[in-house]
Structure 1
Amino acid sequence: MKQKLWVFLILVILVAAGCASPAEKDKKDDKKQSEHKTEQSIKYHRIISLMPSNTEILYELGLGKEVIGVSTVDDYPKDVKNKQKFDAMKLNKEQLLKAKPDLILAHESQKGMDNKVLSDIEKKGIKVVYIPETKNFEEIYGTFEQIGDITGRKSQADTLVYDTKHRVEAVLKDVPKHQKAPSVFLEVSHEPEIYTAGKSTFFNYMLEELQAQNTFDDLTGWKKVSKESIIKHNPDVLITTEGITRSDYLKIIRKRGGFENIDAVKKRRIEAVNGDTISRPGPRIDQGLKALRDAIYRDEQ
């Protein structure tokens, strides 16, 4: 259930994040640069993280003890089960204030979704930092550095960037040789409607890095697609990122009329990958990338 909630949360947040104007993003960048100059000497001891990826970064930077609260969909590392939970989709100002945080890490889209709550929190003297959406590995590494700068853990962040970058490079280096890029359909959600990732998304970027073709690269962003359009695009591989098993996904596919004509179904190329590691732009992204690589090229390894 948590994985399904996380899929829904990430869809809503990423779609909302795409609505920010270039001018707004420029202002955020200018503000971020000025903040970096003054934040490094400040130590935070009561941190609330409203995104699982930010939580994982904080723990990797050695700040697990300073984290006092996380989102209701946080489930990694195991220690988060002992932290106070906050509904990132519907923030409660009184609950946040009662926790007495000195730093809140939120996603940039939450500035629009929960603008009044978080702006009121800032007026109380509590630092609120909005972490931007990431669409490639370099931006993920930039997030590590941003959080490291804010929390006074720059050297640890540099080490995390170095280690993660080398693990990612090792995964990409082992992509099997192939003559034609396989066409891949990534199913982000199947209930109540089918969603996938188009261009300008991190999922599409990962497919390109793995030398595969996104079946729906003719779309942009996170989109709802019909069963008929999936059949028409005729992918070589069907992959769910929803956190269900391969056998459960196969049962879902078998109930869809017309899918028996898709090449992926004919060749039994129906796969499942961990929805957390592939969708969270954090320290475990190499694990998600490896799982995606192995799912795409299972018959070629």
Structure 2
Amino acid sequence: MKSLWKLWMTAAMAVLLLAACGQDSTEPAVKDESPAQIEKEAEAAFPVTVTDAVGNDITIEEAPDAIVSMMPSNTEILFALGLGEEVKAVTDFDNYPAEAAEKEKIGGMEFNVEKIVSLSPDVVFAHESALSTGEAGYQQIRDAGIQVFVVSNAVDFETTYVTIEQIGRLTGKTAEAEQIVSDMKAKVEEIQAKVADVEPKTVLVETSPRPEIYSPAGDTFMDEMLKMMNAENVISDLEGWVKVDPEEIVKRNPDVILTTYGGYVEDPLTEVTDRDGFDSVTAVKEGAIADLDADLTNRQGPRLADGLETIAKAIYPEVFGE
């Protein structure tokens, strides 16, 4: 009986040793990341269906070879995803990256439907902000058998992230889209950490000069960005894009004034400081006036985190060593 027990124990130990040796000798699985495998995985992601801003389910059967972008922010996303070759046409206002300016043009708010249809795109990326003037044209494109995906008009960073991921899914660039979003989030967190403990400043952002000064008030993307920067929009009690009277600006006395119309005014700084009564405004007295790149701070795409950093540096130069 004792011999049988020893024999059983010996056999059990042998099994365990063999198993251990097998584990030690087994090479770890190496994921195939060759171009052919990546392409195969991308193909496997299709067909894909995504619901757009107007509630339409858009189904793409395979990675698109021909794309038309109807908004500069869409174009920036597409190029960031590595789809510059696939983008066949853009609007008259697309200027980034430089290659976008070389693409065929389809117009602006009034776009050329016939031109778009003639290009036979696999998908057209339209935009919710242009629905009031563009919906009839979008429908004509749909009626021609072309998929139209209406991108949401983002009012915050989270919606921008979703937009990038949606466009990535529809074009077979899911991994690239996730990386872009991850990089943006990391940069935003880094910027916010730097301004987390500062004394908040009041800010006025002007998007047009005299005689009609327009500014983003509460419930706007810019208002959201200012909050993210631990700053206070001096007209946050108002809503949307509002025309602001110069006397009201003096009354509210912002610590910082930011303009975004440098491309249309020769000297944005003088445009602000030469106004009657503005010599008493804190922003003017302390020279806290800066003109920002409107495209960088307004376009809801991959460069938006850079735009946020630009805003933060303009408001809190002492924090960023500017």
Report TM bin, short chain. Answer: 0.7 to 0.9
In the TM superposition, what are the counterparts of 1:9-158 in structure 2 within 5 Å? 31=55, 34-35=57-58, 38-39=59-60, 41-158=61-178
What letter matches 1:115 in structure 2? E
1:197 aligned partner: 216
Secondary structure, aligned partner of 1:57? helix
What letter matches 2:218 in structure 1? K
The whole-number CA distance in structure 1 between the counterparts of 2:225 and 2:194 is 14
Q: Deviation at 1:29?
A: 5.7
Structure 2 residue 261 is the aligned partner of structure 1 residue 226: no
Secondary structure, aligned partner of 1:164? helix
Secondary structure, aligned partner of 1:186? strand
2:227 to 208, 211, 232: 208
1:250 aligned partner: 269
2:181 to 138, 161, 181: 161
The whole-number CA distance in structure 2 between the counterparts of 1:30 and 1:284 is 25
Q: CA RMSD in A?
A: 2.1
Structure 2 residue 320 is the aligned partner of structure 1 residue 296: no
- Is the Cα–Cα contact under 8 Å of residues 197 and 204 in structure 1 kept in the other structure? yes
1:264 to 275, 279, 283: 283
- Greater shift, 286-295 or 42-51, is seen at 42-51
Q: Deviation at 1:226?
A: 1.4
Aligned CA distance change for structure 1 residues 187 and 154 (closer, same or farther; 3 Å): same
Aligned CA distance change for structure 1 residues 123 and 138 (closer, same or farther; 3 Å): same
What letter matches 1:158 in structure 2? E
The whole-number CA distance in structure 1 between the counterparts of 2:196 and 2:268 is 25
The whole-number CA distance in structure 2 between the counterparts of 1:266 and 1:167 is 32
- Greater shift, 92-101 or 144-153, is seen at 92-101
The gaps in structure 2 that reach 5 residues or longer are 1-50
Aligned CA distance change for structure 1 residues 100 and 29 (closer, same or farther; 3 Å): closer
The whole-number CA distance in structure 1 between the counterparts of 2:198 and 2:73 is 33
Q: Deviation at 1:191?
A: 5.4
Share of identical aligned residues, percent? 37
What letter matches 2:62 in structure 1? I
- Greater shift, 258-267 or 204-213, is seen at 258-267
Aligned CA distance change for structure 1 residues 213 and 103 (closer, same or farther; 3 Å): same
Higher RCO, Cα 8 Å, sep 6+ = 1
Aligned CA distance change for structure 1 residues 30 and 55 (closer, same or farther; 3 Å): closer
- Is the Cα–Cα contact under 8 Å of residues 245 and 272 in structure 1 kept in the other structure? no
Aligned CA distance change for structure 1 residues 245 and 171 (closer, same or farther; 3 Å): farther
- Is the Cα–Cα contact under 8 Å of residues 198 and 217 in structure 1 kept in the other structure? yes
Q: Deviation at 1:59?
A: 0.8
1:282 to 278, 284, 301: 301
Summarize deviations over 1:160-182 as a string: whole Å, max 9, x none: 11111112211211227323x10
The whole-number CA distance in structure 2 between the counterparts of 1:29 and 1:115 is 12
What letter matches 1:145 in structure 2? E
- Is the Cα–Cα contact under 8 Å of residues 246 and 272 in structure 1 kept in the other structure? no
The gaps in structure 1 that reach 5 residues or longer are 1-26
Structure 2 residue 254 is the aligned partner of structure 1 residue 235: yes
